[in-house]
Amino acid sequence: MQDKSKIGEILSTLDKDLPQALDRLMEFLRIPSVSTDPAHKDDVRQAAEWLTAELTAMGFDASVRDTPGHPMVVAHSPKGTRRPLLFYGHYDVQPVDPLNLWQRPPFEPEIQDLPEGKVIRGRGAADDKGQLMTFVEAFRAWKTVHGELPTDLVLLFEGEEESGSPSLRPFLRDNADELRAGIAMICDTSMYSDGRPAITTQLRGLYGEEIILRAADRDLHSGSFGGLAANPIQVLVNALSTVKDADGRITLPGFYDGVEELSNELRADWEDLGFDAGDFLSRVGLKHPIGEKGRTGLEMVWNRPTFEINGISGGYTGEGFKTVLPAEARAKVSFRLTGTQDPDAIRDAFRAHVRAALPEDCSVEFHPHGGSPGSRMDISDPAFAAAKSALSEEWNREAAYIGAGGSIPIAGDFKEILGMDSMLIGFGRDDDRIHSPNEKYDLESFARGARSWARILAALA
């Protein structure tokens, strides 16, 4: 039985070894593991191998596990008698474009000493390599102090989180006995604003779709055909403009089936957070919430489903002008889902909506992306209270139960396939610029994140 009282020693070890921990993180960040881009396939594998080598050196039984896509990293600490804990993170990162907006190369990370504090700058610093390494450094410090790893840990680190996790569910199914634990710890979320530690208890799901519309068999000159021939950009624009109404509500039939109103308890908690949407938006140069009428800002981002156009292209977009009716137009769109909304039903409704907008001369091709419902955790599990208390202690502030607007389908997958709940604890901040140029992770998030996990490990031992 490991000794809970050594937590003070573990925390000092983490503080003392921070420079070495940062060196390791920098090395990890220099691997351009962009999972969505086939050109980076080898880099993704290299990141998996790097992690496996780190974990093996610490005493884990770790391996790179092949899948039809990018590999998984799975590691186990020695068997013992505690409630098994699974730790999940992802080692792949988002693409970097537009590259010209980066102030330094995205895969040449550095520690920057800014007036507001030190930050780790580079692609993946916050999402999710920096967060993932808070786990790893906590385990390492435990090992240093106790001479052995905490028992009954299962680590699962994914390489396809930023590209829709196509291999994840089959992998969980095929390795269910090996991976099943008492509860899962997921480190892919943020703190509440200004350093208030938080446990995310609900997440939005995601369903995305690429749409390709085609009309003529070539690009047409608008002087010869304009006014007569179908223009696929116009058809696409017409279809996409009517998915939401003037009040920001989505018009697809049955879309809101399964969307749940907040419980009074959570509504009260969220109000207590004092969220100011205008202030939140001002960090990215905006001021005015544009979402569904009659909803609070936190509801808009945490508890209400959305429709967003993530990309659109068609026709001539280079220098100068070309008066063309293009042969095709494309868009990538996505829905964030809440409650028990069914991604399959929404896919059908969306496709029917697009098809209904097509004139006879247009054809459409759909390529789905993702497709996972939202998740809500059962916070009556005592592990939640224990973790909340450990977090409050580390940060000297009452930790909060919050929601998240993003999609971490893994939480739903753990529930469905492995029958376990998840605790979503992360130390990201809203200004981390994840998925954008100049991503960063606060040094404080990294250092106190690792300390937080050490405390949570101790509390759950």
Query: Where in 198-227 is the site for a second copy (CB under 8 A)?
Result: 204, 206, 208, 210, 215-227
Asked if 234 interacts with a second copy (CB under 8 A), we say yes
User: What would the x/- binding string for a second copy be over residues 102 to 141, using CB under 8 A?
Assistant: ----------------------------------------
Q: What is the DSSP string of 239-300?
A: HHHTSB-TTS-B-STTTTTT--PPPHHHHHHHHHTT--HHHHHHTTT-----SSTT--HHII
- Give the binding range for a second copy (CB under 8 A) out of 80-88, 252-260, 294-302, 443-451: 294-302
Whichever of 145 and 220 has its CB closer to a second copy, that residue is 220
Residues 372-411 that bind a second copy (CB under 8 A): 404-407
Q: How far apart are CA 257 and CA 254, in angstroms?
A: 5
Residues 25-54 that bind a second copy (CB under 8 A): 36-38
Is-cis flag, bond preceding 177, omega within 30? no
Asked if 326 interacts with a second copy (CB under 8 A), we say yes
Amino acid letter at 27?
Answer: E
Q: DSSP secondary-structure letter at 414?
A: I
Q: Locate 391 and state its tokens.
A: 């977090």
Whichever of 13 and 201 has its CB closer to a second copy, that residue is 201
Whichever of 78 and 359 has its CB closer to a second copy, that residue is 359
The only residue of 58, 64, 111, 309 in contact with a second copy, by rule CB under 8 A: 309
Cβ-Cβ contacts under 8 Å for 103 (sequence gap 6 or more):
437, 438
Whichever of 94 and 452 has its CB closer to a second copy, that residue is 94
Strand partners, 76: 61, 154
Q: What is the DSSP string of 93-154?
A: B----SGGG-SS-TTS-EEEEETTEEEEESTTTTTTHHHHHHHHHHHHHHHHHHSSPPSSEE
- Residue 39's closest CA among 132, 223, 154, 163? 163
- Give the binding range for a second copy (CB under 8 A) out of 41-49, 148-156, 276-284, 389-397: 276-284
Q: DSSP secondary-structure letter at 430?
A: T
The only residue of 122, 159, 370, 409 in contact with a second copy, by rule CB under 8 A: 370
- Give the binding range for a second copy (CB under 8 A) out of 22-30, 130-138, 328-336, 417-425: 328-336
Amino acid letter at 418?
Answer: L
- Nearest approach in angstroms of CB 208 to a second copy is 5
- Give the binding range for a second copy (CB under 8 A) out of 104-112, 167-175, 234-242, 418-426: 234-242
- Give the binding range for a second copy (CB under 8 A) out of 13-21, 130-138, 171-179, 320-328: 320-328
